[in-house]
Chains A and B, each alone.
Chain A
């Protein structure tokens, strides 16, 4: 056992059954989802068993995989160098996530500054609009689409009503909530560094709560958009960019909240110490990243 805690050894696990099952689960999930979507689109009876098998496989295997890694860490198998590998890994993973959102922000900028303007007959390629839909005029948010029989524009948009009425503007409160949660997760980190278990648990629990409140408000906003504003995925480019950006952000908040809950449960179990808390730190970096994305969303989707 003594050599097991030898901090100089870079731990290379011998074999593992988890990865190949994760690959299988991901395959089943996506193949099942594809089959289901195609059936829905073709008005056939959709069957979802493949999706469920895939999703269940992923959930179970990932649980055991992470549990194993945590257990190995507690056995002292993970030395400082391995933890640095984790840090690099998480850092570059977040970078790839940034680029994923960059694709959608890019679409938003391109649509606003080029596509819609040209369709409205403005700018270098304005002739497009003159020929195709001469009656379409360019505005953002796009309320009337070039072809309203195919894509019915929204009755109202989500655009900011002006800073004076932000107190009754839901996205403003969502911004406040998420920014606050970034601060609370930071306090949780400070508590951990000061060896205050109670502080860690308290601040983490508050962060989880804020995450959940954000998600509820976001869901409420979506209902409002669909039921009252007529703003849907199919209400043209404004609805498309609005929902894909806020939707994927919401999905990432969901994932981040889930990670925070795991971190909270681990903190309650007594995991993490001030010099060994990669799992917690990775979660908090992810949470800060989700926050930064929201701030960009708030500016470019809601305000401007």
Chain B
């Protein structure tokens, strides 16, 4: 960890010390980690709104039994694209945006390790999603085979636009791989002297491990869609039993990617929450070391549990048992984390600003999602729950009040550092309560309709599920519109919020809080001193 940038002569190159360019060129050509972070975050929010509109089409259709607004074919396109857009377009880019903004500041680096590639990682995404979303307007219709795109629905029986879907996934994968390489190189190579691994903020740790997961599984996803491409266009029979292949093989390969993928979407969330809770509890994080080891254990286990998504597909008994026990094992490190968050709050001088409210809601509601996951892990019980709304409730509990709440919490927490202005606390709290009520009204009833046997991915349903669905739809619209309100709160803060102090939160520790607010265009042109107060908070 030698010299980063010494003293005030960062002007080694006469345009190095400039601020940003003017106009569109700044955003198209930027190599600055903050600009790119901002691009990622706004892109993610745009995708979040588009994916949200698709969700509201689904919930409007399901408000009552019978077919009211859309036909079943279009409904399938809505569920498929809602899932794809939210996973690959909203949640993942939001975390990469946070990593871009925060990792260099947190480790005391001048920028990301490979700045031009950083720009490329971002700009691939709008093209990839243009390719994916444009299929919805094509004659054959968009992808309609579910976000898990099981063969043969996605091969033999797919609309011809599946080709664009495949290439869109290739582009997203390239973006994720380059983004991960950049994050790993930044964390391993760009830390300021004295910022040892076990002094890094937990957000940095969780992202290091997430980047490793991405590098391990995104290429496998690329392999899966490549085999689909070959089955569709070049006559191979990977997923066709008539030629000696197996559609179940698709599911194995997909979920080898898919299970680590859910940790890709939750580990950085763990990191965010582990930054916020100590700040507002005014105590250091309880069990920092165990948090690091728990994160690593979760990442390791995530590679050997994938077939818990396939208990009903017809696997040998030994496989079912193995995947059941391995899956349940994940509850141990996850339990360590929840225990540590609660212990951090224990006897802390707590206050409940908006980021803290979202973080606490995260701990409680994510844990509910974790418990329903444990229920699903029990193979014989899963025979009952499989492909019902119980599964929908489960993964929405971990992804919406889990991953998404942590992203919202992060935005409230670091926004003052990004733009130098505070958000309006009472509006933030209003946004929190609307979201909290909305999310629970939407997804809690789905546990019941699922347990009672309502299948997922259907546009119409039996009458006995009507009440729960109506409730769910009401909640969804509350939740959806409160996110538009979130946009208003953020824009109001950026335009006319009260100036923020450098430390912003009295209990905040970490290098990013030693910089002025808003953070200067180039953060640490000379490496900062790492004091105990700013180390692993």
A: residues with CB less than 8 A from B are 3-4, 6-20, 22-24, 26-27, 30-31, 33-34, 37-38, 40-42, 65, 77, 79-82, 84-86, 88-89, 92-93, 95-104, 106-107, 110-111, 114-116, 118-119, 123-125, 128, 132, 142, 145-147, 150-151, 232-234, 236-241, 243-244
Q: Does B534 count as interface, using CB distance less than 8 angstroms?
A: no
Min distance, Cβ B140 to any Cβ of chain A, angstroms: 9
Cα–Cα, bound, A100→B113 (Å)? 24
B131/A42 in contact, CB under 8 A = no
Q: A34-B167, A92-B184, A104-B223 are in contact. Are A233 and B236 (CB under 8 A)?
A: yes
B181/A92 in contact, CB under 8 A = yes
Interface residue from A23, A102, A116 paired with B123 (Cβ < 8 Å)? A23
Q: Does B244 count as interface, using CB distance less than 8 angstroms?
A: yes
Q: 4 more A-B contacts (CB under 8 A) besides A6-B12, A33-B167, A115-B244?
A: A19-B123, A103-B220, A114-B249, A145-B237
Q: Which residue on A lies nearest to B120, using beta carbons?
A: A19
Q: Does B217 count as interface, using CB distance less than 8 angstroms?
A: yes
Give chain B residues whose Cβ lies under 8 Å from the Cβ of A79. Answer: 3
B218/A10 in contact, CB under 8 A = no
Cα–Cα, bound, A30→B226 (Å)? 13
Min distance, Cβ A249 to any Cβ of chain B, angstroms: 13
Give chain B residues whose Cβ lies under 8 Å from the Cβ of A123. Answer: 316
**CB<8 Å pairs between A and B, sample of 12:** A3-B11, A13-B115, A40-B233, A82-B113, A96-B215, A96-B219, A102-B223, A103-B223, A107-B253, A110-B249, A145-B237, A151-B237
Interface residue from A19, A38, A237 paired with B119 (Cβ < 8 Å)? A19
A106/B3 in contact, CB under 8 A = no
Cα–Cα, bound, A238→B5 (Å)? 56
Q: Which of A3, A84, A85, A150 has the most CB of B within 10 A?
A: A85
Cα–Cα, bound, A109→B12 (Å)? 55
Give chain B residues whose Cβ lies under 8 Å from the Cβ of A3. Answer: 9, 11-12
A22/B12 in contact, CB under 8 A = no
Cα–Cα, bound, A20→B123 (Å)? 6
Cα–Cα, bound, A151→B220 (Å)? 26
Give chain A residues whose Cβ lies under 8 Å from the Cβ of B111. Answer: 10, 12
Interface residue from B166, B174, B189, B216 paired with A88 (Cβ < 8 Å)? B189
B: residues with CB less than 8 A from A are 2-6, 9-13, 15-16, 18, 21, 25-26, 28-32, 109-111, 113-117, 119-120, 123-124, 127-128, 130-131, 160, 163-164, 166-167, 170-171, 174, 177, 180-182, 184-186, 188-190, 215-220, 222-224, 226-227, 230, 232-238, 240-246, 248-249, 252-253, 256, 314-318, 522
A37/B6 in contact, CB under 8 A = no
Give chain A residues whose Cβ lies under 8 Å from the Cβ of B215. Answer: 92, 95-96, 99
Give chain A residues whose Cβ lies under 8 Å from the Cβ of B3. Answer: 7-8, 79, 81
Q: A20-B119, A124-B317 are in contact. Are A10 and B167 (CB under 8 A)?
A: no
Q: Which 9 A-B pairs have the closest CB atoms?
A: A103-B223, A234-B235, A237-B244, A151-B243, A19-B120, A124-B316, A115-B246, A147-B242, A27-B127
Interface residue from A18, A34, A233 paired with B164 (Cβ < 8 Å)? A34
Give chain B residues whose Cβ lies under 8 Å from the Cβ of A65. Answer: 116
Cα–Cα, bound, A38→B128 (Å)? 18
A9/B6 in contact, CB under 8 A = yes
B230/A233 in contact, CB under 8 A = yes
Interface residue from A8, A13, A97, A150 paired with B243 (Cβ < 8 Å)? A150
Interface residue from A4, A24, A37, A111 paired with B244 (Cβ < 8 Å)? A111
A26/B174 in contact, CB under 8 A = yes
B29/A20 in contact, CB under 8 A = yes
Q: Which residue on A lies nearest to B15, using beta carbons?
A: A14
Q: A6-B12, A88-B113 are in contact. Are A234 and B31 (CB under 8 A)?
A: no
B114/A237 in contact, CB under 8 A = no
Min distance, Cβ B6 to any Cβ of chain A, angstroms: 4
Q: Which residue on A lies nearest to B17, using beta carbons?
A: A14
Give chain B residues whose Cβ lies under 8 Å from the Cβ of A11. Answer: 13
Cα–Cα, bound, A98→B223 (Å)? 11
What does DSSP make chain B's interface, helix, strand, loop or mixed?
helix
Give chain B residues whose Cβ lies under 8 Å from the Cβ of A30. Answer: 131, 167, 170-171
B127/A24 in contact, CB under 8 A = yes
Q: A14-B16, A26-B174, A237-B243 are in contact. Are A85 and B113 (CB under 8 A)?
A: yes
A27/B171 in contact, CB under 8 A = yes
Q: Which of A27, A80, A244 has the most CB of B within 10 A?
A: A27
B189/A237 in contact, CB under 8 A = no
Give chain A residues whose Cβ lies under 8 Å from the Cβ of B12. Answer: 3-4, 6, 9
Min distance, Cβ B106 to any Cβ of chain A, angstroms: 17
A240/B230 in contact, CB under 8 A = yes
B227/A107 in contact, CB under 8 A = yes
Interface residue from B186, B217, B234, B241 paired with A146 (Cβ < 8 Å)? B241
Min distance, Cβ B3 to any Cβ of chain A, angstroms: 4
B223/A100 in contact, CB under 8 A = yes
Interface residue from A12, A40, A89, A110 paired with B185 (Cβ < 8 Å)? A89
Give chain A residues whose Cβ lies under 8 Å from the Cβ of B21. Answer: 15
A12/B220 in contact, CB under 8 A = no
Cα–Cα, bound, A13→B235 (Å)? 46
B29/A15 in contact, CB under 8 A = yes
A85/B241 in contact, CB under 8 A = no
Cα–Cα, bound, A223→B430 (Å)? 69
Give chain B residues whose Cβ lies under 8 Å from the Cβ of A238. Answer: 244
Min distance, Cβ A164 to any Cβ of chain B, angstroms: 29
B242/A151 in contact, CB under 8 A = yes
Give chain A residues whose Cβ lies under 8 Å from the Cβ of B243. Answer: 145-147, 150-151, 234, 236-237, 240
Cα–Cα, bound, A102→B253 (Å)? 10
Q: A19-B120, A103-B224 are in contact. Are A4 and B216 (CB under 8 A)?
A: no
Interface residue from A115, A124, A145, A233 paired with B235 (Cβ < 8 Å)? A233
Min distance, Cβ B319 to any Cβ of chain A, angstroms: 8
Min distance, Cβ A280 to any Cβ of chain B, angstroms: 19
Give chain A residues whose Cβ lies under 8 Å from the Cβ of B119. Answer: 16, 19-20
B181/A119 in contact, CB under 8 A = no
Q: Which residue on B lies nearest to A140, using beta carbons?
A: B244
Give chain B residues whose Cβ lies under 8 Å from the Cβ of A10. Answer: 4-5, 109-111, 190
A244/B163 in contact, CB under 8 A = no
Q: Which residue on A lies nearest to B10, using beta carbons?
A: A9
Give chain A residues whose Cβ lies under 8 Å from the Cβ of B230. Answer: 233, 240, 244
Cα–Cα, bound, A290→B170 (Å)? 21
Cα–Cα, bound, A104→B226 (Å)? 10
Interface residue from A9, A40, A115 paired with B245 (Cβ < 8 Å)? A115
B28/A237 in contact, CB under 8 A = no
Cα–Cα, bound, A111→B239 (Å)? 10
Q: A146-B242, A147-B242, A244-B227 are in contact. Are A239 and B116 (CB under 8 A)?
A: no
Interface residue from B114, B164, B242, B522 paired with A150 (Cβ < 8 Å)? B242
Give chain A residues whose Cβ lies under 8 Å from the Cβ of B232. Answer: 41
A4/B127 in contact, CB under 8 A = no
Min distance, Cβ A104 to any Cβ of chain B, angstroms: 6
Min distance, Cβ A136 to any Cβ of chain B, angstroms: 8
A102/B220 in contact, CB under 8 A = yes
Give chain B residues whose Cβ lies under 8 Å from the Cβ of A237. Answer: 237-238, 243-245
Cα–Cα, bound, A41→B246 (Å)? 23
Give chain A residues whose Cβ lies under 8 Å from the Cβ of B26. Answer: 15
Min distance, Cβ A95 to any Cβ of chain B, angstroms: 6
Cα–Cα, bound, A243→B174 (Å)? 23
Q: Which of B9, B177, B244 has the most CB of A within 10 A?
A: B244
Give chain A residues whose Cβ lies under 8 Å from the Cβ of B241. Answer: 115, 119, 128, 132, 146
A15/B160 in contact, CB under 8 A = no
